[in-house]
């Protein structure tokens, strides 16, 4: 059965998904006229404008929604995933990760804007995501249910096992903490948060994610300063191995492309249909605003955090001279740069990044479970299973689960990307409406947007 999973996963990841991801990204980039590359001037205004909105009980801000999305993006994929991409695909894989992020910015804008337009109100505020726009825009509830089942399994169960496993491994190596102890602590901590509702998830994410992201970036800047003379050589190696003639002839470029695309998707999730769940929760004055804000999340994840990890590893002698992979390689590299405390620092980063990813991933699963069946006992049962997988993940070797994670990731991304290709004209209309109101100097009331649907 494992071999069967590997073969299907190989086909999806090596052919279909690469074509779909890059093709959809190019298509959306053309449709939005490269808007994802020109949105930075609006970001500060968007956060400040929406901070002044009078929100009801349970409603969250655009910044809190951004942090929920960032919490699931910034995790194992940014550290262990990048290290694996470098080990398997070489430095050139990072260039392809950048390309996926730039094109994925347009895809993220479309899916997150659609999530805002088709969101629904519940007892705690708003909720939505691909399952909701598949049902309401395409009129295909069965497709939304199918997608929802895959998301609930992929994020709430499989991805969370990977996250808890990485935390347990990092703490075992750096602090000699038994995986059993890590399993118990992670499970209890997760239970305390997920039984607290969307507000608790949002507050936790808004507190931890920005602080840890800035600290990690500062550490990578220190590494850059200490190795400033090596920067040109590292960049040259990355571009040469991404597009070099030797790599084309030897087949290495294909491996670099695959690793860049696969790890890029696992990390920034653009097109996977996960971030729209976070985008739908925000109370904003125009749906395009949250599309823009979630696009920023793609860039922060890949162009900043993933690149920081790549820089730390590529500037260390440990790269290419050890059998270590994943989080172990990152710990070795940072220890080489900054001393023994750096390995422990990575373990703490993994704990906070991966734990917030566990919480955010659970939230995505919950959103889809309640869309399928809103009974309280069904949600409680799902929470118990999630906690069980968090506990299991910290204890088990997860080679098969990593393969399953990539397989399910390919499936949900395929369903979502094909769906938004059909619904994207609605998001394009929302963008045009947003730009017209901006030109007129209007505050962008959340109005009249229903006429777009």
Checking if the pLDDT of 58 tops 50, the result is: yes
The residue assigned the tokens 């169960």 is 157
pLDDT band for 236, please (50, 70, 90 cuts): confident
Q: Which domain holds residue 231?
A: 61-452
pLDDT band for 100, please (50, 70, 90 cuts): confident
Checking if the pLDDT of 352 tops 70, the result is: yes
Checking if the pLDDT of 327 tops 80, the result is: no
Distance, in Å, from the CA atom of 103 to the CA atom of 369, rounded to the nearest integer, reads: 30
pLDDT band for 2, please (50, 70, 90 cuts): very low
378-391 average pLDDT score? 94
Q: Is the sign of the CA dihedral 58, 63, 67, 69 positive or negative?
A: positive
- Cβ atoms of 281 and 25 within 8 Å: the answer is no
Distance, in Å, from the CA atom of 281 to the CA atom of 263, rounded to the nearest integer, reads: 27
Least confident of 69-83, 152-166, 334-348, 351-365: 69-83
Collapse the DSSP code of 17 into the 3-class scheme (helix H, G, I; strand E, B; otherwise coil) and give the result.
Answer: helix
Distance, in Å, from the CA atom of 211 to the CA atom of 191, rounded to the nearest integer, reads: 23
Within-domain flag for 14: no
pLDDT band for 320, please (50, 70, 90 cuts): confident
Of 387, 342, 366, 324, nearest to 164 (Cα)?
Answer: 387
Which of 30 and 70 is assigned the larger pLDDT?
A: 30
Collapse the DSSP code of 282 into the 3-class scheme (helix H, G, I; strand E, B; otherwise coil) and give the result.
Answer: strand
Within-domain flag for 197: yes
229-243 average pLDDT score? 83
346-364 average pLDDT score? 84
pLDDT digits (tens, 9 = 90+) for 289-310: 888 888 888 888 888 888 888 8
Within-domain flag for 276: yes
108-116 average pLDDT score? 94
Helix H or strand E encompassing 235: helix 231-243
Which of 170 and 425 is assigned the larger pLDDT?
A: 425
Within-domain flag for 25: no
How many domains does the chain divide into?
1
Within-domain flag for 2: no
Quote the pLDDT of residue 447: 42
Question: Average model confidence (pLDDT) for the chain?
Answer: 81
Quote the pLDDT of residue 263: 64
Collapse the DSSP code of 273 into the 3-class scheme (helix H, G, I; strand E, B; otherwise coil) and give the result.
Answer: coil
Joined tokens for residue 225: 């300063």
Distance, in Å, from the CA atom of 25 to the CA atom of 437, rounded to the nearest integer, reads: 26
pLDDT digits (tens, 9 = 90+) for 3-13: 544 444 554 55
pLDDT band for 380, please (50, 70, 90 cuts): very high
- SS3 for 312-362 is HHHCCCCCCCCCCCHHHHHHHHHHHHHCCHHHHHHHHHHHHHHHHHHHHHH
pLDDT band for 439, please (50, 70, 90 cuts): confident
323-336 average pLDDT score? 82
Checking if the pLDDT of 97 tops 90, the result is: no
Question: Residue 156 contacts by C-beta under 8 Å, 6 or more apart in sequence?
Answer: 361, 362, 364, 365, 366, 382, 385, 386, 389
pLDDT band for 450, please (50, 70, 90 cuts): very low
Joined tokens for residue 97: 């990760």
Within-domain flag for 152: yes
361-369 average pLDDT score? 88
Distance, in Å, from the CA atom of 119 to the CA atom of 296, rounded to the nearest integer, reads: 21
Within-domain flag for 37: no
403-413 average pLDDT score? 81
Within-domain flag for 352: yes
139 class by beta-carbon count within 10 Å (0-12 exposed, 13-18 middle, 19+ buried): exposed
Least confident of 99-103, 248-252, 299-303, 420-424: 248-252
Write the DSSP string, 363-406. Answer: HHHHHHHHHH---HHHHHHHHHHHHHHHHHHHHS--HHHHHHHH
Helix H or strand E encompassing 41: helix 40-51
Which of 452 and 280 is assigned the larger pLDDT?
A: 280
| CATH number of the domain residue 402 falls in | 1.20.1740.10
The residue assigned the tokens 């948060």 is 193
Which of 14 and 82 is assigned the larger pLDDT?
A: 82
Quote the pLDDT of residue 407: 79
Quote the pLDDT of residue 262: 66
Distance, in Å, from the CA atom of 333 to the CA atom of 315, rounded to the nearest integer, reads: 8
141-162 average pLDDT score? 90
pLDDT band for 139, please (50, 70, 90 cuts): very high
Quote the pLDDT of residue 5: 47
């Amino acid at each position: 059965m494992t071999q069967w999973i590997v073969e299907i996963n190989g086909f999806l990841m090596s052919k279909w998904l690469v074509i779909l991801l890059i093709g959809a990204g190019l298509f959306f980039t053309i449709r939005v006229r490269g808007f994802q590359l020109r949105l930075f001037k609006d970001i500060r205004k968007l956060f400040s404008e929406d901070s002044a909105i009078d929100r009801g009980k349970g409603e969250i801000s655009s910044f809190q929604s951004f942090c929920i999305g960032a919490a699931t993006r910034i995790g194992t994929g940014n550290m262990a995933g990048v290290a694996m991409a470098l080990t398997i695909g070489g430095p050139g894989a990072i260039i392809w990760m950048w390309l996926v992020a730039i094109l994925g910015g347009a895809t993220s804008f479309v899916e997150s804007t659609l999530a805002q337009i088709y969101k629904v109100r519940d007892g705690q505020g708003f909720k939505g995501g691909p399952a909701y726009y598949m049902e309401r825009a395409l009129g295909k509830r069965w497709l939304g249910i199918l997608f929802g089942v895959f998301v609930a399994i992929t994020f709430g169960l499989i991805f969370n096992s990977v996250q808890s496993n990485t935390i347990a491994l990092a703490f075992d190596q750096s602090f000699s903490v038994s995986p059993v102890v890590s399993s118990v602590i992670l499970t209890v901590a997760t239970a305390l948060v997920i039984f607290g509702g969307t507000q608790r998830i949002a507050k936790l994410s808004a507190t931890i994610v920005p602080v840890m992201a800035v600290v990690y970036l500062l550490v990578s800047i220190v590494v850059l300063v200490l190795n400033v003379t090596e920067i040109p050589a590292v960049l040259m190696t990355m571009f040469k191995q991404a597009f070099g003639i030797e790599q084309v002839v030897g087949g290495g470029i294909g491996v670099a492309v695959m690793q860049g695309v696969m790890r890029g998707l696992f990390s920034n999730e653009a097109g996977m249909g996960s971030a729209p769940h976070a985008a739908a929760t925000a109370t904003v004055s125009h749906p395009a605003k949250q599309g823009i804000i979630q696009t920023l999340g793609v860039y922060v994840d890949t162009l900043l955090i993933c690149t920081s990890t790549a820089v730390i590893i590529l500037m260390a002698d440990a790269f290419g001279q050890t059998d270590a992979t994943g989080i172990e390689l990152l710990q070795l590299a940072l220890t080489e740069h900054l001393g023994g405390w750096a390995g422990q620092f990575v373990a703490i980063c993994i704990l906070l990044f991966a734990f917030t990813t566990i919480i955010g991933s659970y939230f995505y699963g919950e959103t889809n479970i309640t869309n399928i069946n809103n009974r309280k006992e069904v949600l409680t049962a799902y929470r118990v299973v999630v906690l069980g997988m968090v506990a299991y993940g910290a204890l088990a070797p997860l080679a098969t689960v990593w393969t399953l994670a990539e397989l399910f990731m390919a499936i949900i991304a395929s369903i979502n990307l094909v769906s938004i290709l059909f619904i994207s004209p609605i998001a394009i209309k929302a963008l045009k409406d947003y730009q017209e109101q901006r030109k007129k100097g209007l505050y962008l009331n959340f109005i009249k947007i229903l006429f777009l649907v």
